[in-house]
A and B are shown apart, each in its own frame.
Chain A
Amino acid sequence: MKTLGDVWTWLGTGTNWAGENGIWHRLTEHLLLTVGCLIAACLIALPVAVTLGHLGRGGALAVNLANVGRAVPTFAVLVLLLLTPLGRHGDWPTFIALVLFALPPLLTNAYVGMREVDRDVVEAARGMGMSGGQLVRRVEVPLALPLMLTGVRIAAVQLVATATLAALVGGGGLGRIITAGFNLASTPQVVAGAVIVAVFALLMEVLFEVVQRLGPGWARGRTR
């Protein structure tokens, strides 16, 4: 109980929120890193998944990638990249590692979404004389959107989590509050940082939940 009080005091202290090591700055860093990596990962993964899904190829790859992503520790990849020549270029190792780990959920979900489009609908569209490109843009992608969005949601929540690990390799973000707390042997700061990180991750999850529930029909998908 005493710790909880100390954590509350730490969070209530104005100086802990301001400045380069302050919560606001770390929060901004965290948000920028998460959003930047999410956009980059989407730009890489979604076109690949849409193409593979349209052609019906590479399914085994898309599914197995998720298993590989789980077995490789994020921390290990962060450190490995840091020790390569890339490590001398600021935040690039972190950025690359985070994007790599965001790819599997995006690829898998978008691919499955493309493949689950009703074959009869695809045949009907072809019968209407649609070209491959039209089929992708007007039929397959719109119908695959709900699952794609699920992939984006998983990737986003996971990115919030992996972005905290950037602090372990000297990067910024909210994880820095935790690692600084460990270095100072300050349990209140460690717990306060953890609370902020956890709340941030949960908010991201809730945000997507709201978008998927209240969003337009295409985001929700048809109820089967």
Chain B
Amino acid sequence: MTAPPDDCLARNDWICGDYLATRRHILLDATLQHLHLTVVSVLLGLVVALPLALIASRWRWTAGPVLGVTTVLYTIPSLAMFSLLLPLYGLSSTLVVVGLALYSLTLLVRNILAGLAGVPEEAKEAARGMGYGPLRQLLAVELPLAVPAAMAGLRIAAVSAVALTTIGAIVGHGGLGNLIYAGMNSFFKAQVLTASVLCVVIAVAFDLLLLGLERLLTPWRRA
């Protein structure tokens, strides 16, 4: 009979270099899936949120219903949200993407709307005085000035999405959440800790990336 190996995997340590070395591919796949789910869902949320915010800012009476519906969506707990979408999308990654997109919608609509509302009247008048049409005024003056507020919403939405993706493990599409879920069932400490830390690292990376993007998009604010 051979003695059991005395390494950190056999001891079930929290921090384990052997785990990183032997499970590199699993970790990489889970991380890529996590990134994919997060990026697609936030982009989808942005694509839906921008027109909604523009409509709500153009026709004031629509602002109430738009904000109301998105706030109700935001109140629904994540596990319930994914479950409510089950009849529509089944056990698929689409379910997770749509659920996360619905969450980011609230933050994005609210912040874009606040950004548009915060555009100074003088700036709009100056644009009109320079002969800008409504579309050009929107694209060249109002939207750029709304970028800081919108980006604040986007950063919160992205960071939240990274954390919420882990709940997707309930339908088998949770990126690093899958590893946490599996690690819980097998009491695999190193796997749970590594996946959790990677989640936080991804969230911080997104936050910094979007902060950099905001600076690139608003060069006039650096002066």
**Cα separation A3 to B193 with both chains bound (whole Å):** 38
Q: A-facing mask of B75-91, CB < 8 A → 1, else 0?
A: 11111110110110000
B72 to A: closest C-beta gap in Å? 7
A51 to B: closest C-beta gap in Å? 28
A172 to B: closest C-beta gap in Å? 14
Q: Do A157 and B75 touch across chains, with their CB atoms under 8 A apart?
A: yes
**Cα separation A165 to B80 with both chains bound (whole Å):** 10
Q: Does A201 contact B (CB under 8 A)?
A: yes
Spot the interface stretch: B51-59, B120-128, B161-169.
B161-169
Total B residues in contact with A, Cβ cutoff 8 Å: 39
**Cα separation A77 to B193 with both chains bound (whole Å):** 9
Q: Does A9 contact B (CB under 8 A)?
A: no
Q: Do B163 and A71 touch across chains, with their CB atoms under 8 A apart?
A: yes
Residues of A within 8 A of B169 (CB): 75, 168
Residues of B within 8 A of A168 (CB): 79, 167, 169-170, 181
A73 and B79 in contact (CB under 8 A), knowing A83-B189, A168-B170? Answer: no
Q: Does B137 contact A (CB under 8 A)?
A: no
Residues of B within 8 A of A39 (CB): none
Q: Do B192 and A79 touch across chains, with their CB atoms under 8 A apart?
A: yes
Q: Do A194 and B80 touch across chains, with their CB atoms under 8 A apart?
A: yes
* Contacting residue for A83 out of B81, B177, B192, CB 8 A: B192
Q: Does B147 contact A (CB under 8 A)?
A: no
Spot the interface stretch: B18-26, B110-118, B194-202, B215-223.
B194-202
A182 to B: closest C-beta gap in Å? 6
Least CB separation from B88: chain A residue: A3
Q: Does A94 contact B (CB under 8 A)?
A: no
B96 to A: closest C-beta gap in Å? 13
Least CB separation from A185: chain B residue: B91
* Contacting residue for A165 out of B86, B160, B162, B167, CB 8 A: B167
Q: Do A179 and B156 touch across chains, with their CB atoms under 8 A apart?
A: no
A71 and B204 in contact (CB under 8 A), knowing A80-B192, A83-B184, A197-B77? Answer: yes
Residues of A within 8 A of B166 (CB): 73, 75-76
* Contacting residue for B77 out of A75, A82, A164, CB 8 A: A164
Q: Do A72 and B79 touch across chains, with their CB atoms under 8 A apart?
A: no
Q: Do A194 and B84 touch across chains, with their CB atoms under 8 A apart?
A: yes
Residues of A within 8 A of B180 (CB): 73, 75-76, 79
Q: Do B84 and A71 touch across chains, with their CB atoms under 8 A apart?
A: no
Listed residue (B156, B162, B163, B207) with the most chain A CB atoms within 10 angstroms of its CB: B163
A201 and B77 in contact (CB under 8 A), knowing A79-B184, A83-B189? Answer: yes
Can you give 5 A-B contacts (C-beta < 8 A)?
Answer: A76-B195, A80-B196, A164-B77, A168-B170, A175-B79
* Given A75-B166, A190-B86: 5 more A-B contacts, CB < 8 Å: A67-B159, A70-B159, A73-B177, A161-B77, A165-B78
